[in-house]
Amino acid sequence: MARCCLRKQRRAGSVAAEMRGRFAPSPTGHLHLGNLRTALVAWLFARSAGSEFVLRFEDLDPVVVRPEFYDSQRRDLERLGLDWDGELRQHEHRERYDAVLDDLEQRGLTYPCFCSRREIREAAAAPHGDLPEGAYPGTCRGLTQAQRAARVADGAPSSIRLRAGDAVCRFVDGLAGPSEGRVDDLILARADGVAAYNLVVVVDDAFQGVEQVVRGDDLLSSTPRQLHLADTLGYPRPAHAHVPLVLGPDRRRLAKRHGAVTLDDRVALGESPRAVLGLLAASLGLAGQGEQPAAAELVARFAPSALPREPWVF
């Protein structure tokens, strides 16, 4: 990719602070209106600040990635009028994640975890002081070398976890406001060897020079983990803005079962991509009902402070 480079240092005193933004879909299906709305908001944050915007395909999991969805996702973004300055596919950069993992291992900041999914679920369900719900309580943290060797000899698969050291991470989210969370010993590499999302997202945001992460608020609770990891790796922290999700009429997260939720679905119903953009813009308070402004017109209207702070029920 053209723009895949280390973060440019912002010049002290420079007037136009550059805030490179990004959209990071997984090519596992068609983007639905919720994904497209988040992409639109991320693009508007970047373009209204005169910033670059990059696309990143989070495609490390060969089990769920489908090759046809790279083009389908790119095409849908283009049909809405969104553009980008560079593109990265994570599966082409595995050595980068391995190198970071090695570095953390060398620093004594990792340990193998032999817990099964069920053990993790059960352990996470039990109360553990002030750890957030679903957090890993550190079951395998204190295993001795002999205990580890015995598990390996039994053929138990192991993932790799970070020693987070009970860190607490505070940050101010551009939409959710002041936030904080205890950081658990998050997974860095899965038992099947695939580098974990929380690692690669941090590595690539730094590698791509992303200074502003705009994404769905289902990831707000993962942000303390990611910021802690960025701190540990000596990367600058990006700013965050978590966009409330789009819900179906049953108030559950928008999904295929809710009907015509992709751009193709809407076009098949006779709506133009421009009309769909208008619908998304209206849901963000950027257009009147039925109005069909172009993406470029929305840039001029965009003000982060005026964005809705509640989910949009579609």
Please state the φ and ψ torsions of residue 99, each to the nearest 5 degrees: -65, -40
Minimum CB separation from ligand GLU for residue 312, in Å?
Answer: 17
Cβ neighbours around 224 below 10 Å, total: 23
215 vs 293 by CB, closer to ligand GLU: 215
Report the site for ligand GLU in 59-98 (rule: CB under 6 A): none
Binding mask 13-52 for ligand GLU (x = CB under 6 A): -----------xxx--------------------------
* # residues contacting ligand GLU (CB under 6 A): 7
Contact with ligand GLU (CB under 6 A): which of 4, 176, 219, 239? Answer: 219
26 vs 262 by CB, closer to ligand GLU: 26
How is residue 164 written in tokens?
């987070």
Query: Which of 236, 295, 235 shows the shortest CA–CA distance to 37?
Result: 295
Minimum CB separation from ligand GLU for residue 188, in Å?
Answer: 16
Minimum CB separation from ligand GLU for residue 52, in Å?
Answer: 16
140 vs 229 by CB, closer to ligand GLU: 229
242 vs 258 by CB, closer to ligand GLU: 242
User: Would you call 246 helix, strand, or coil by DSSP?
Assistant: strand
How is residue 202 written in tokens?
């941090």
| Cβ-proximal residue to ligand GLU, closest one | 215
Minimum CB separation from ligand GLU for residue 282, in Å?
Answer: 23
The Cα-based distances of 256 to 35, 67, 228, 263, 275 in angstroms read 12, 19, 34, 12, 20
Minimum CB separation from ligand GLU for residue 279, in Å?
Answer: 21
Judging by DSSP bridges, how do beta strands 159-162 and 187-189 pair with one another? antiparallel
Minimum CB separation from ligand GLU for residue 295, in Å?
Answer: 20
How is residue 148 written in tokens?
């580890």
How is residue 201 written in tokens?
């997202």
Under the binding rule (CB under 6 A), the answer on residue 201 touching ligand GLU is: yes
Rounded to whole angstroms, the Cα distance separating 4 from 125 reads 40
Minimum CB separation from ligand GLU for residue 154, in Å?
Answer: 34
25 vs 278 by CB, closer to ligand GLU: 25
Under the binding rule (CB under 6 A), the answer on residue 244 touching ligand GLU is: no
Please report where in the chains the tokens 């046809």 appear, as a residue: 68
Identity (one letter) of the amino acid at 34? G
Minimum CB separation from ligand GLU for residue 199, in Å?
Answer: 12
Under the binding rule (CB under 6 A), the answer on residue 215 touching ligand GLU is: yes
Q: Are 241 and 49 in contact (CB under 8 A)?
A: no
Please report where in the chains the tokens 């006779």 appear, as a residue: 270
58 vs 76 by CB, closer to ligand GLU: 58
Q: How is residue 195 annotated by DSSP? A: B
User: Would you call 252 helix, strand, or coil by DSSP?
Assistant: coil
- 241: which strand partners? 214
Residues that bind ligand GLU (CB under 6 A): 24-26, 58, 201, 215, 219
